[in-house]
Structure 1
Amino acid sequence: MLKGMMKPLIRIVAPAVFVLSLLLLPTPSAFAATHATTQPALVGPKANYLAVGDSLAYGFQPDLDFSHGYADDFYANLKSHGTTGYANMACPGETTTSMIYGDCSVSFLRKFPYIGSQLNAAVLYLKFLAGRVSPVTLDIGANDMRPDINTSTCTLSSTWNSDLARMDTNLRQVILPKLAAAMTVHGQRSGDLFLMNYYDPYQNICPTMVPYALEINQHLAADASGYATVVDVFTPFGGTATPNPNICSYTWMCSIFKDIHAKAAGYRVIANAFEQTAGY
């Protein structure tokens, strides 16, 4: 019965990773040319690690294995550097808006207890453990765009641009500044904040849309500029190659679930990307 109950949940929480219209968005090169990015200097690991974001940060898998996500794998590595505390506040189905204003609609799945929005809980955690949390990892934004995506026709709805703008605004003006401020002690950044980009599980279904998966990731990089270090997950998942042979081995797309979440092997690839970017 639990599996039957999870099927609709899987559809709800799937953080759709993007298939994008050639007609509705500017070219990746044009966007990149007008959005320079800067990344803060890294501080290094400390006693506590905080993971926030959507179902990928949570470590969701449709076979109900929720203990082998990238945050779990990254924490295993961090323990060798003296990190002993781990809080995973990620919420399956989270959007940038619900992260700010919501109260995790699937709260029964929470790995770490908190009241109110995920962002407020993260800020309180960082302030309570001021100077003792590093790194903080974040992936968010995919669910903002999910309702706009039609994978049957490989097209987008008319609200794509406005939803993309709202995602940028929420990240650039609220989420990232609040996290960065909570990690600043006596005027100095006390920990590392990492924002990952997304792989594209639909690239074998809609190969003509792959350039715009890159476009979305460029938006995330621009939003992160000055606040967070970007972790490239798109490239180690196979980059722009189509067909991408890693989709079946790293995600559940080729399984009976037809689900876009990473498998344990895919989550290990994501964790490795965090480790390589962090350098610790």
Structure 2
Amino acid sequence: MQYMKKFKALFAFLLALTLIIPVTVSADEVESNEDLRLNYVALGDSLAAGINEKGELANGYADYFALSLKEIEGLKSYNKGFAVPGYKTTDLLNDLKNNVTKPIFNLEGTQKETTNIQTAIKEADIITISIGANDVLSFVKPDKETGKINIDMAAITAGIKTVGENYYAILSTIKQINPDVEIFVMGYYNPYPKLENYKQQLSLLVTSLDAAISDIATKNGAHFVKVSEAIAADEAKYIPNPENIHLSAEGYQVVGLRFFETLASLAEEKVVFTDIEGHWAAQYIQEVVAAGIMSGYEDGTFKPDQALTRIETVSVITRSLELPDALDMPFVDVENYPNEVKMEVAKAASIGLVKGYNGYLKPDDKVTRAQLALMVSRAYTAVTGEAYAPEKKAPYSDIKKFDAETQNAITLLYDLGIDQGADGKFVPAQQVTRADAAKVIAGFLALQEK
């Protein structure tokens, strides 16, 4: 289930970035899967550009972050063309003000196509920034012959203050260009770990620089990514060249992972809906939202008591499974839906999750509790490889008129503790609400993790 976990993780953090739409799907409202992917722009200095410990241009943390997004099919575009070795905060600020144009530099290298920095920012969903170290490192001068360092703490203190002021201007400018973009700002690490006698002073430098950047980032709605501890965990491996402050490939991978973890952690923040406090399904709703299977609406509601349609239910269940792509579409009445939805329906049909009516799905029909049980039971078969065959049927007085497959499906929910009915009845003809679906899907997800 490794791929399924990645799939759910992608939709969870996209949900946190408000890029995923509600599971109320219609031909006019649903965005395509392509629209859910991220446009990523990296700004900054040599760390974003990817200068390694040999002084050569290679993959930097931005490349590894982009690769992580690509691996889970979450990357739409990537450009580190505005990351320049040696850049200070003043250089980036000037680029923003002058709206410089540079070639796009993505995972395939430098491209012939160019773009200006303001357009790149306007089209971005996420931006990473690493800038500021060059502003203060000029006041840290190592002597190769003696192995000592001349540290001008007064100049560093003044430099850090300037970094904070410039960062504020940089972030403010970016937010003016694109108020909705998510910005991730990199912290720094001890660039001279082998100079034991200066660790305390260098640690103070890094702590002070991080504090200034973190404070300004937070005040401007950006996310600070601390990396000092991660690099300190294996300095010999991550900063192997004592004469070069840049990271090795392994070091950049660690930093790229910290960016990815910070992005993903946004999904762990509990989503608050205005209409589920005190609702019996509140916990289940939070679970399926965190998994990226369902989401709320732009007005801050979840609408737990709203009935689900057949196509909505198919989408919800398909998102909770690891299913191969399917080319054949057996239903003629979903042609006007977006490609993403049609793909979900095709996948569902390929495993018999939904069978339709003489070539029609009837996508707008409401789903009953018995029909939902059937879909979940067929999903169970797809996951386990075998149909559920109970020793005895669930003790409901109102399911005896149904065929064996439906009774077994209802019994599956009963035996697994997903749905226990009420007062000895299952109420199979009752319409399924979003809250009902959240409870059933939460139970199904828990079953898959066992």
Report the TM-score when normalising by structure 2.
0.43
DSSP-derived class of the 1:194 partner:
strand
User: What do residues 196-224 of structure 1 show as CA deviations (whole Å, max 9, x unaligned)?
Assistant: 10011224311121133212111110111
1:270 aligns with 2:264: no
Q: Aligned pair in 2 of structure 1 residues 181, 46: CA closer, same or farther (>3 Å)?
A: farther
Displacement over 6 Å in runs of 4+? none
Select which of 199, 211, 223 maps to 1:207. Answer: 199
Select which of 153, 160, 167 maps to 1:171. Answer: 167
User: What do residues 77-135 of structure 1 show as CA deviations (whole Å, max 9, x unaligned)?
Assistant: 112243121110200000001112269xxx99x757768xxxxx4323122x2xxx222
Q: Which runs of 5+ in 2 are unaligned?
A: 1-15, 20-35, 143-147, 266-450
Select which of 79, 83, 87 maps to 2:75. Answer: 83
Q: CA deviation at 1:157?
A: 5.6
Q: CA deviation at 1:159?
A: 2.7
**Partner of residue 66, structure 1:** 57
Q: Count the aligned residue pairs.
A: 213
Sequence identity percentage: 25
- The answer on whether the counterparts of 2:54 and 2:241 sit within 8 Å (CA) in structure 1 is no
The residue type paired with residue 231 of structure 2 is F
Separation (CA, whole Å) in 2 of partners of 1:274 and 1:170: 22
Q: Which runs of 5+ in 1 are unaligned?
A: 1-40, 116-120, 240-245
The residue type paired with residue 83 of structure 1 is L
Q: CA deviation at 1:252?
A: 3.6
The residue type paired with residue 267 of structure 1 is Y
- The answer on whether the counterparts of 2:53 and 2:239 sit within 8 Å (CA) in structure 1 is no
The residue type paired with residue 40 of structure 2 is Y
- What's the C-alpha RMSD, in Å, of the aligned pairs? 2.7
**Partner of residue 253, structure 1:** 241
User: What do residues 219-254 of structure 1 show as CA deviations (whole Å, max 9, x unaligned)?
Assistant: 110111232100111111126xxxxxx222102434
Separation (CA, whole Å) in 2 of partners of 1:157 and 1:125: 37
The residue type paired with residue 167 of structure 2 is L
**Partner of residue 91, structure 2:** 98
- The answer on whether the counterparts of 1:122 and 1:179 sit within 8 Å (CA) in structure 2 is no
Q: Aligned pair in 2 of structure 1 residues 158, 82: CA closer, same or farther (>3 Å)?
A: closer
Separation (CA, whole Å) in 2 of partners of 1:58 and 1:83: 18
Separation (CA, whole Å) in 1 of partners of 2:163 and 2:49: 20
Select which of 228, 232, 237 maps to 1:238. Answer: 232
Separation (CA, whole Å) in 1 of partners of 2:231 and 2:55: 22
Higher Rg of the two aligned structures: 2
Q: Aligned pair in 2 of structure 1 residues 278, 147: CA closer, same or farther (>3 Å)?
A: same
The residue type paired with residue 173 of structure 2 is K
DSSP-derived class of the 2:127 partner:
strand
Q: CA deviation at 1:57?
A: 0.4
**Partner of residue 24, structure 1:** none
- The answer on whether the counterparts of 1:231 and 1:277 sit within 8 Å (CA) in structure 2 is yes
DSSP-derived class of the 2:84 partner:
coil
